[in-house]
Amino acid sequence: MKNDLLKMLDLSKEDIIEILDLADQLKYERKHGIPHPILANKTLAMIFEKNSTRTRVSFETGMYQLGGHALMLNGKDSQIGRGEPTEDTARVLSRYCDGIMIRTYSQAEVELLAKYADIPVINGLTDFAHPCQVLADLMTVREHQAQLEGLKLCFIGDGNNMANSLIVGGLKVGMDVSVACPKGYEPDEEVLEFARSFKGGKHFTLVRDPLEAAKGADVVFTDVWASMGQEEQQQTRRRVFKKYQVNDQLMAVTNPGCMVQHCLPAHRGEEITEEVFEGHADEIFDEAENRLHAQKAVLVLLMGKK
């Protein structure tokens, strides 16, 4: 694994499996009361330019469980919000802390932070990528299905950061990936170029029809129709994505035992029905919990290096 976690495109299959295996181990130890203060006396700076529940709680709790400390920085409390250059923030935090996690809008900002930081940088979410979430997603699928290789992953909805990262992560671990989204809402072109060139493109499909995408799926993913920063598009997106809902009709064409995953928060009645959500709630909240364990594995692999 490289010195940072910026996007799924940067990880190899071996990197992903290493993270998932360590996450499984740390989860087992946590469940059995086995302490693992691997990051004792180490500090993680957490920069938030987007609101958060799961990212903040899981990283802060994870650092505590690993014996370290996490501190939160946002625009209201720091010079970041008053225009301090990203490269200066990177160099200052490198003198104080052992790692940086950032949740923001621009992928370029995360890449710039990593360029100037002398400590590991972790992407907690950008508009382009959500690698921490997808590592937790893959961990959850492997827990429930006992494998990843050969399964079909389906994503229904907006070609956003989740779609981008799921496509890359799914393909790299040997899954077939099918995406259904409306015209004009496709995943990022860099991701599509990767998917179409990966093993000749034979493991990836992009279609308009959600039922076509979901046929024979082993796990269905979805996300909100309007992400943070897109609230003004809410009404337009409701019209555009009306047919892109995970419901009983869609689930009927999937494989028996098909899982449902949602990164949360969910807008029940929009991208997913109440019935499907509650029918797969255990899987969805296992997924949410696994943010903690997958991110602890990332923290150990990046910040535990001597």
Sign of CA dihedral 99, 13, 200, 147: negative
Contacts of 209 (CB under 8 A, 6+ apart): 180
DSSP string covering 34-75: ----TTTT-EEEEEESS--SHHHHHHHHHHHHTT-EEEEEET
Beta bridge mates, 207: 180
**E strands present in 121-238:** 121-125, 152-156, 176-180, 204-207, 219-222
Task: Please list the active-site residues.
Answer: 103, 130, 133, 223, 263, 291
Please say whether the beta carbons of 194 and 260 come within 8 A: no
Half-sphere exposure of 269 (CA within 13 A, CB side): 0
Strands 43-48 and 69-74: parallel
Please say whether the beta carbons of 287 and 140 come within 8 A.
yes
CA distance 254 to 62: 35
CA distance 258 to 4: 33
Distance from C-alpha of 7 to C-alpha of 122, rounded to nearest angstrom: 9
Rg of the chain, C-alpha, whole Å: 19
